């Protein structure tokens, strides 16, 4: 069974998800007509396939809209889907993000948020950036059930082993995957501090996962959310400013767009100020410095993600080239960020 997409392009959904749509429509009192149903693929997602599905409701002049998420191939290499759904449900029940309407093994149906997804340029808007910083402070304070321990280092090691198991010897040598065991240990030693703040981090704050409506910010897509140092979330967000996933070459990163020191400090100052505090220049500088060092861990994180995705995911995205860019940026910036403590592979 297929849902017709606008502009005569078909959107193929698993039969189980189609059955959920019909069941949901029936609960709402609609007489769902397949020919009147429209589907629109939402580009920019690189783990799942995401669609906006709409149909005319039984009530006059009312259009129903839902978001359908079809799980991508190989997600079990990155995270536990049951854990991700529990996170989604907890956040939804506590006023964060869309509501979960129903789910099956192949995917789920979510509330469609009537808000605008940000663009790459929006991240550079000072007003929007301040709103994101304020929302991020709120997100980090979420008391998610379960362990509050840092996940980053264990996840990097797990992904590295999976990447090496999926790649050929030539590919491992080309990408220098054999060096990364030592690099991960080095980063963990250099960046871990007893005084650093740990919070519930989103870990994937690209523009496509941020929505805005009347100056209200909503974060969506929590596949990679877990407890980590908050500085890592800053690092991830800053690195995402080099990306634009809505071009003819969505995998190409432009590091000339990476935010300068003033922009990074302004974001962190907005974050710290959002709770009514007045951070000192020293506080802002300290957090900005450690966040910049965490960009190294972020390059490894998404570089390994790309290596694995290239082997298991069928979404049209040049994962291998994306990984090369992240790894190149790691080796390029490491000497400046770690100084003498990071010279083992120079």
Angular region, 74: left φ>0, alpha ψ -120 to 50, beta rest = left
pTM: 0.88
Rounded distance between C-alpha atoms, residue 256 and residue 20, angstroms = 45
Matching CATH number, 116-342, of 3.90.550.10, 3.90.1150.10, 3.90.1200.10, 3.40.50.970: 3.90.1200.10
Pairing label, strands 198-201, 100-104? unpaired
Three-state SS for 207-222 is: HHHEEEECCEEEECCC
* Nearest one of 150, 162, 227, 153 to 183, comparing CA atoms: 153
Cα→Cα distances 208→48, 72, 80, 121, Å: 13, 17, 22, 11
Rounded distance between C-alpha atoms, residue 84 and residue 92, angstroms = 12
- Residue 7's pLDDT is 38
Q: Which pair of structure tokens corresponds to residue 150?
A: 């840092």
The kind and range of the H/E element at 56 are strand 49-56
Q: Which pair of structure tokens corresponds to residue 343?
A: 């010279």
Contact 230, 198 (CB under 8 A): yes
Q: Which pair of structure tokens corresponds to residue 22?
A: 């019909």
Q: Which pair of structure tokens corresponds to residue 191?
A: 């960046």
Q: Could you read off the pLDDT of 90-139 as tens digits, one per residue?
A: 998 888 889 889 988 888 899 998 899 999 999 999 999 999 999 999 99
- Domain 2-111: CATH architecture, name and number where available: 2-Layer Sandwich (3.30)
pLDDT category at 273 given cuts 50, 70, 90 is: very high
Q: Could you read off the pLDDT of 39-76 as tens digits, one per residue?
A: 888 866 667 788 999 998 887 678 899 999 888 777 77
The half-sphere exposure of 254 on its side-chain side, counting CA atoms within 13 A, is 11
Lowest mean pLDDT among 103-107, 160-164, 256-260, 290-294: 103-107
Angle at 317 (CA atoms; ends 311, 321), nearest 5 degrees: 75
- Residue 49's pLDDT is 83
Rounded distance between C-alpha atoms, residue 245 and residue 67, angstroms = 20
> Looking at the predicted structure, is the pLDDT value of residue 329 above 60?
yes
For 232-254, b/e burial (b = at least 16 CB within 10 A) is bbbbbbbbbbbbbbeeeebbebe
* Nearest one of 156, 200, 181, 199 to 308, comparing CA atoms: 156
- Residue 1's pLDDT is 29
pLDDT category at 264 given cuts 50, 70, 90 is: very high
- Residue 342's pLDDT is 60
Asked if the domains 2-111 and 116-342 are classified in one and the same CATH topology, the answer is: no
The kind and range of the H/E element at 38 are strand 38-41
Domain boundaries, the chain: 2-111, 116-342
Q: Residue 267, class by beta-carbon neighbours within 10 Å (0-12 exposed, 13-18 middle, 19+ buried)?
A: buried
Give the CA diameter of the chain.
Answer: 69
């Amino acid at each position: 069974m297929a849902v017709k997409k606008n502009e005569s392009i078909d959107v193929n959904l698993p039969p189980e998800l189609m059955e959920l749509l019909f069941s949901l429509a029936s609960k709402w009192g609609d007489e769902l007509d397949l020919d009147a149903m429209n589907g629109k693929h939402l580009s920019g997602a690189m783990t799942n396939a995401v669609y906006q599905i709409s149909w005319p409701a039984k009530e006059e002049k009312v259009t129903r809209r839902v978001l359908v998420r079809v799980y991508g191939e190989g997600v079990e290499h990155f995270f536990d889907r049951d854990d991700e759904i529990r996170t989604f449900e907890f956040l939804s029940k506590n006023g964060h993000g869309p509501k979960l309407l129903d789910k099956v093994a192949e995917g789920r149906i979510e509330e469609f948020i009537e808000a605008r997804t940000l663009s790459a340029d929006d991240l550079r808007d000072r007003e929007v950036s301040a709103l994101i910083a304020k929302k991020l402070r709120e997100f980090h304070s979420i008391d998610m059930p379960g362990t509050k321990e840092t996940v980053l280092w264990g996840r990097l090691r797990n992904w590295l082993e999976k990447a090496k198991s999926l790649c050929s010897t030539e590919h491992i040598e080309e990408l220098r995957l054999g060096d990364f065991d030592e690099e991960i240990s080095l980063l963990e030693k250099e960046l871990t501090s007893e005084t650093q703040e740990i919070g519930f981090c989103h870990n994937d704050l690209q523009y496509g996962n941020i929505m805005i409506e009347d100056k209200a910010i909503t974060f969506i897509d929590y596949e990679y959310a877990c407890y980590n140092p908050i500085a890592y979330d800053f690092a991830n967000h800053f690195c995402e400013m080099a990306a634009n996933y809505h071009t003819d070459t969505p995998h190409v990163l432009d590091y000339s767009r990476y935010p300068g020191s003033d922009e990074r400090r302004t974001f962190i100052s907005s974050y710290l100020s959002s709770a009514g505090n007045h951070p000192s220049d020293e506080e802002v500088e300290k957090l900005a410095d450690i966040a910049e060092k965490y960009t190294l861990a972020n390059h490894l994180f998404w570089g390994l993600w790309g290596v694995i995705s290239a082997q298991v995911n069928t979404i049209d995205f040049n994962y291998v080239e994306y990984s090369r860019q992240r790894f190149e940026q790691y080796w390029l910036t490491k000497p400046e960020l770690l100084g003498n403590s990071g010279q083992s592979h120079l």
